[in-house]
Structure 1
C-alpha cells in the first residue's frame, strides 16, 4: 500500500501527533536494495583504500538501521545480501593465504545484519556444505589471535551449520568412528577458548558446541567427557571469581539442554543439578550469571518429564475475535471444563523438582528483571508438566509473594509468573477469586522511598496479567470481574504518571474489549484513549479523563 493511499484511508488527521509519528517511523517496503547491491559490489575494490571502506560500511549501516523497528521488511532481500557476502568468504578460504582484509570486511557487514535480525535468524542463510568444514575451521584457528571478533563470530556460526551434517560416509565403520573422534577433538580444541571471551563470540561458541554435542553419534563418548569438562571449568571459574568464564560455561550448558534430546540428556540431569546448586549462583553479583543459572535449572526440571500438556488445564473453546463479540446465543460454548474431571495417571514426580521450584521462586525476587522474567517462564513450563494439586501449591506460593513485607521485585516477579500461568491455561476459573483482588492491588502499587517511588514495573506487569486474562478465559468466566478490571485499567491508562504503564493499561483494555466483548463503553473509550493518545500526560488529564467521566 502506498503512503498516499494510507493518507486517504487513515483515521488520523495530518495535524495529529499519531499521524506524524507513523509517517516518520514507518516504511512500506525495503527501498534500499539497489544501493546495498552497489555497496557490496565495491567491497573487493576498496581493499586498498581505508577511507572508502569506512565510508561504504557507514553508508551500509545507515541504510540498514532505518529498518530496526520493521526488520521484517528486509527479509525477502536477506538471502541475496548474505549470499553475496558469503561468496567473498568462500573465495578467500579456497586460497592458501586468504586475505584477512576481505574476510574481516565481509564479516563486519554480516554482523551488522545480525544486529538487526539476530544470529539465530541469519544463521539459516549461511552455507551447509560438509566439504568446507576443514577450511572454515582452519580459517578460525588462524584468526584466533587477531582483534577481529566479527570474523570469529561469523565463522563460529558457519561451523554451527556444518557440524550437524553427516560426515563423509566413504569410510569403513572403524575409520568413520576414528574420524568422528578426530573431528570432535579438533573442533572442541579450536573453539573452547571462544567460550571464555567477553564479546559476542561467546554466544556463537555456546550455540556451536550445543549443536555439535546434540549429534546422535557423539552421545556415547564425546558428550559424557564434554559434560565433565564443562562442570570442571564451571567450578574452577567460580573458585577463581572469573565471571566471564563462568558465564560462557553456563551459556553452553543451557544451550545443550535447549537443543539436545531428552533421552540423551536425562542421565546428566542429576549431576548437573547437584553441581550447579552447590555453587550458589543465585547470589552472584552478575545478573547474566543468575539468569543463565535459572535457565539451566528450569531446563533440567523440564528434562525430568516427557513433553506433554497438562490435561487439567483450562482451554478456551474459541480464540476468534469474531466469535467473541457475537451475542451469547451465537457464541461458541464448547469450553472444556476440566476442573472436575478425574486426572489421568501422572508420571512420577522426582524429589528434585521441589528444589528446582524453590530456586525458581527465589529467582522471582531477584533484583534484576531478566532473572525474574526467566524464573516466571520456568515456573510456567514446569507447572505445565505437573499434577493439578502441585500446580495449586505453586499458585499459593506465588500469592504469598504479594505482601507489603516484600519489596517491588517480589510483586513484579509474582505478576509475571501469574501471567505465564494464565497465558498457558494453568490458572483455573475457580482461582480467579483469589487472584483478581491481588492484581487490582498491583495495578496501583506504589512504594515511597525518600524523594522517589518504586512500583512502575509492578503496575506494568499487572497490566500484562490483565492482558493474559483476556486471551485465556471465556467471557462468561471474566464477567463477574469486568467492572473491577475495566475501572482499574482506565484509571491506570489515564492517571498513571509513567507513560509505559499508561500504554500497557491501554493495550490490556483494548485486548479485553476485543476478546471479551463486554467491557462497558469499550469501543467508544478505546477509540479515544488509544496507545498514542495516552502518551501525553497533559492530554490524559485535560481531555481523556473528562471524556471518560462524561
Structure 2
C-alpha cells in the first residue's frame, strides 16, 4: 500500500513537473501556443482545414517570430508531424482525384511553409515522414501539383499552390536519401530493366523534368529544386543523370540571352550546381570540374554577370566549392588553436599561456611570434586551377555588392584553410593590398570581411599582427566625404567585426598588447560614430574582447556603461557614455583627438554641433590641455576655407571657453585676446557671404553668447563690434537666427 502511495505521489510530481515545463515553454517561447494548438487540433481532428481563417491566424502568429525562429523549435514536431500525416494520408486515400486532393493539402501546406520561412527548412524537414514507400507517392503528388496551373500569381498566392509545391519538394529532398537503388522503388512497367543500370528510371526522370522547370522560377521553388537535385544527382546510382544535368547546365550557362526567363533559369542552374558541389562526393564531382570551371569563369567575366549581383553571388559560391573539391581536407599543423574544448583544458591552457608570455617578456619578445614549422607541408600538390579560383575570389572582395563580397570572404577563408602556411601568407598579403588608399570603399569592406574570416578560422597567425592591426585601426575610422554626405559606415562595421573575431579566436597572451591598441579606437567608434549600427558593432567587439580575454582595466564598468540601449541615442552616446568612459586612463586624449580631427569638421551640421558640446563636456578632465592645445588648434580653423571646418571650430571654441569658465579656470590674457578677435577676423575675411553664410551667423551668435557668459575680457571697440554683429544677424531674413537671438541674454 505504501509503495502504491509513493508511486502515486511520484506520478503526481512528474505530472506537475511536466506541467511546469509546459507553462515555461508557453511563457518564454511561443506565447500564443494555446491558440495555435487549439486551431491545429481542430484541423487534425477533421483531417482537413474547415475554416481558411484559421490558416491565416496561424500564419500571422508565425510571422511575428521571423527574427527569432529558434523560439518555435520546441513545438515543431508537434506541429509538423500531424500536418504532414494529413498530407500523406490524403495522398494515399485519393490517389486518383487530383483536384480534390490538392484542395485539401494546399491550406495545410501554407501552415507548414510558414514554419519553413520562420525556422528554416533544415529544422522542419526532420519531422517529415520518410518511409521508402513514400517516394513514389510524393513524386505523384508533385506531378499533380505541377500539372495544375494557376490562373494568376495572385490566385497562386491565395490558394497555396506555391506552398504546396515547396513542401512536396522538401519532402522529396528527404526521401531521395533512401539507402536503396531508386529503380527498385519504381513500380512503373519495366522498372526491372533499370535496376543496376546507369539509365535513370522513369521516377527519376519525372523529378528531373519538374525540377528543371522550377529552376526557371523566380520564387523559392528555384532554390528548393536546386537542393533536391543536389541530393538526388549526387547519389552513387545517378552517375549518368548527373553527367546529363551538367551538360544541360553547360548549355544554359553558355547561352548569353537577355530574356528574363532565361536569366532565372541561369540563376537556378548555377545555384543547383553550387548545392551539388557542396553536398556531393569529390569522387563524383572531380570529373566535371574542368568544364564547370570554364563555364563559371567565362560567365563571371560576361556582361550578364555584371548586371546581376545575385548571379555573381552564386558564381562566387560555386567557385569556392570547386576549390574545396580540388583541395582535399587535411590537418594543417600551422593553424592557430587558441582554446581547448573542456573547462579544465581552458584553465590549464590559460596558465601555460600566461607563464609562456611572462617568460617571453622577461627574455626576448622576438621569440613570442615565431615562424611556424612548415617543412611537413611543402610537398602539398596544389592544382593549377586553384590559383585562378583564388584570383576570382580576391576580385570578388572588390565587388560593388555586399552579398558578393561577403560570399567571397567566406570562400577565401575556406580555401585558405586547406593550403600551406606559405600559400596562406601570400593570400594574406593579397588581402592587405585591398586597403590601399587608391582602392574604393568596397575593397576596404571586402578586405575586412576576409581578415575576419581568416582570424575566425585560426588562419591569421600572431606573427602577422604587426601588419594587420594598423590596417584594422584605419578601417575603424574609414569615412570618405562625397559631396554633401560621406561613405564608409559599412567599412567601419566590418572592421568592428574583425576586432570581434580577434576576441573569439586568440588567447589572452597573444591579445594583451593588441587589445591595448584596439580598445581606445573601438570605444571611439562606439561613442562618436554617426551610425547606430557602427556604434553598437564596436561596443559588441569591445565587450567580446573583455569577456573572453579578461583582466582588462575597467572593462566590466565600460561594458555596463556602453551597452546596446545606451548607444541607441547619438546624443546620449556623445554627452553621457563618452564622458563616463573618458574618466578612465587611456581614453580622454583619444576621444579629444577624434572630436577635433574628424567630428568638428563633419559634413553633418547637427553632428558638428553635438561634437562641440561633447568637447566641452570633456574639458573638466584636463583644463590645461583644453585651454592650450584644443583651443589653440581650433583658432586657426575658424578662418578655414572649408565651411564645415570653420563652422564647427567656431562653435567648439565658444563651448570650450564656457566650460572652462564653469570649472573656474582662468584663461591667459593672450588667449583671451585671441578668442576676442575671432568674430572680427571672420567678418574681415567676409565669411558671411555666399553659401553657408546663414549657419556661420548662427555659430557666431552662439560664440558671442558663450564668451560673454564666460566673461572674456573685451575692449570697448570689440564690444561695439559684437553688438553690431548681433543687430545685423537679428535683421537677417532667416527666422531661426532671429528666434535664437531673441532668446539670448547677453551681458557685455
Give your verdict on TM over 0.5. yes
Give how far 1:124 is off: 1.8
2:217 to 182, 197, 200: 197
2:108 to 101, 106, 117: 106
1:344 to 361, 376, 394: 376
Instruction: Quote the RMSD (CA, aligned, Å).
Output: 2.7
The corresponding residue for 2:15 is none
Given that 2:396 and 2:404 are in contact with CA atoms closer than 8 Å, whether structure 1 keeps it comes out as yes
Residue-pair matches, total: 521
1:151 to 160, 164, 182: 164
Alpha-carbon deviations, 1:491-538, whole Å to 9, x = none?
A: 011111111111111111011111222433211111211122212212
State yes or no: 1:388 paired with 2:386: no
Give how far 1:170 is off: 8.6
The corresponding residue for 1:288 is 310
The corresponding residue for 2:703 is none
The corresponding residue for 2:74 is 76
State yes or no: 1:176 paired with 2:195: yes
Given that 1:415 and 1:461 are in contact with CA atoms closer than 8 Å, whether structure 2 keeps it comes out as yes
Q: Bigger shift: 162-171 or 247-256?
A: 162-171
Give how far 1:33 is off: 2.9
2:572 to 532, 539, 546: 539
Give how far 1:29 is off: 2.7
The corresponding residue for 2:559 is 526
Q: What SS does the corresponding residue of 1:476 show, helix, strand or coil? A: helix
TM-score, scaled relative to structure 1: 0.88
| CA shift in 2, pair 1:223/1:425, >3 Å | same
Q: Bigger shift: 268-277 or 204-213?
A: 268-277
Give how far 1:477 is off: 1.8
Alpha-carbon deviations, 1:349-404, whole Å to 9, x = none?
A: 11111111111111111111110000000000111111111111111111111122
Q: What SS does the corresponding residue of 1:306 show, helix, strand or coil? A: coil
1:224 to 227, 243, 260: 243
| CA shift in 2, pair 1:326/1:305, >3 Å | closer
**2-structure distance, mates of 1:334, 1:76:** 46
**1-structure distance, mates of 2:277, 2:475:** 35
TM-score, scaled relative to structure 2: 0.66
Q: What SS does the corresponding residue of 1:58 show, helix, strand or coil? A: helix
The corresponding residue for 1:354 is 387
Equivalences for residues 7-406 of structure 1 within 5 A? 28-43=28-43, 52-53=51-52, 55-94=53-92, 95=94, 96-97=96-97, 98-144=100-146, 145-146=149-150, 147=156, 148-165=161-178, 166=180, 167=182, 175-177=194-196, 180-219=200-239, 221-236=240-255, 238=257, 242-280=262-300, 283-318=305-340, 339-345=371-377, 346-406=379-439
2:446 to 400, 413, 419: 413
Equivalences for residues 415-454 of structure 1 within 5 A? 415-454=448-487
Q: Choose between structure 1 and 2: higher helix proportion.
A: 2
Alpha-carbon deviations, 1:313-371, whole Å to 9, x = none?
A: 12214478998899975766689988332431443111111111111111111111110
| CA shift in 2, pair 1:322/1:432, >3 Å | farther
| CA shift in 2, pair 1:421/1:323, >3 Å | same
- Structure 1 unaligned runs (5+)? 1-25
The corresponding residue for 1:504 is 537
Give how far 1:444 is off: 0.5
Q: What SS does the corresponding residue of 1:504 show, helix, strand or coil? A: helix
Give how far 1:448 is off: 0.9
Given that 2:478 and 2:488 are in contact with CA atoms closer than 8 Å, whether structure 1 keeps it comes out as yes
**2-structure distance, mates of 1:490, 1:320:** 32
**2-structure distance, mates of 1:46, 1:163:** 27
**2-structure distance, mates of 1:209, 1:154:** 15
Given that 1:312 and 1:338 are in contact with CA atoms closer than 8 Å, whether structure 2 keeps it comes out as no
- Structure 2 unaligned runs (5+)? 1-25, 151-155, 358-367, 584-748
Q: Bigger shift: 447-456 or 485-494?
A: 447-456
